[in-house]
Copies of this chain bind each other. A is one copy, B any other.
Amino acid sequence: MILGSIEAGGTKFVCAVGNENYEVIDKAIFPTIDPATTIGNCIAFFKKYPEMQAMSVASFGPIDIDKHSAKYGYITDTPKIKWSNCDFIGMLKRGLGQNLPIYFTTDVNGSVYGEYVNLKDQLPKADLVYYTIGTGVGAGAIQDGHFIGGVGAPEMGHVLVKRHPDDLNFTGICPYHGDCLEGLLCGPTFKARLGKRGEDVSDDDHVWDIMAYYAAQAVMQATSILRPARVIFGGSVSRPHFMEKVRDQFRQLYNGYLEVGDLEEYITNPSVPGNGSATLGNFALAEKMLHQ
């Protein structure tokens, strides 16, 4: 069996082809330029595999995943102007064949599904939440093997949080909400708070404590609302020393209210190596679609 995966991010598209064991047999990375160029590159890559039976796309958003919508399969009104109103799935189908089954979900849903596939045999109940902290803050969640989401996909970054006492003068950078979780925690807040990029911020800078205070509140929300077995953090901000601080803050803030087990295991980085969660998730979602 040949399955396809696109992890469509704001800076790059990761394309992969895999087999029935979800092993990657070919891979290509294309920069995120404009739909004609980048999706064109994806199509050229996958055309080498005419035997591909299904694929799945995990995309940056906002995207329309409502199958009853006229804009199903679109990237909708994103600030990335070249990508706004882009008929992503339509373009793929025109390039690769109208009969190719293509699953479409959010980038974070792809990632959380990959983690689910990788962890489900190890956990009695593999209900997971996967936060990514990068350009923005987003999350996907799984319960009983199904995505959490009602009339649309979660937008877990856009919730308000208790402010850290040493951060009261920072107004936050979310264009909608100012100091929502995303506005206080996403990667670009390094530049806004300190005037430099996250890569250039030392591990002992107090900003990490401030940001961990907010990430720990995200874990409180995930724990209190969804009761997952694991809360996983991916994205460029979620470095190991930061995760240690998130665990410490969660321990203090949540005060043992619910039993969540060993915090080293509960609050963790992705289990799939090499940033491969979304690719693995896509392979599994593509195959699952074939069986439905």
Contacts and interface: CB of A to CB of B under 8 A. Distances in A.
Contacts of A155: 224, 227, 257-258
Given A143-B148, A177-B253, A255-B176, A227 B159 contact: no
Copies in the complex: 2
Interface residues on A, range: 35 or more
Contacts of A152: 227, 258
A156 B225 contact: yes
Nearest to A143: B150
Q: Chain A interface secondary structure, helix, strand, loop or mixed?
A: loop
A232 to B, nearest CB: 13
A162 interface: yes
B228 A221 contact: no
A161 B162 contact: yes
A42 interface: no
Contact of A150 (B151, B163, B228, B256): B228
B229 A150 contact: yes
A115 interface: no
Contacts of A217: 159-160
Contacts of A227: 149-155
A127 B127 CA distance: 19
A51 interface: no
Interface string A153-180: 1111111111100000000000011010
Interface string A84-127: 00000000000000000000000000000000000000000101
A176 B225 CA distance: 17
Nearest to A68: B124
Interface string A225-257: 111110000000000000000000000011111
A153 B225 CA distance: 8
A237 B112 CA distance: 37
Interface of A: 125, 127, 139, 141, 143-144, 146, 148-163, 176-177, 179, 217, 220-222, 224-229, 253-258
28 contacts: A127-B150, A127-B151, A143-B150, A148-B148, A148-B226, A149-B227, A150-B226, A151-B227, A151-B228, A152-B227, A152-B258, A153-B227, A154-B227, A155-B257, A156-B225, A159-B217, A159-B220, A159-B221, A160-B161, A160-B253, A161-B161, A176-B256, A177-B254, A177-B255, A177-B257, A221-B225, A222-B225, A225-B226
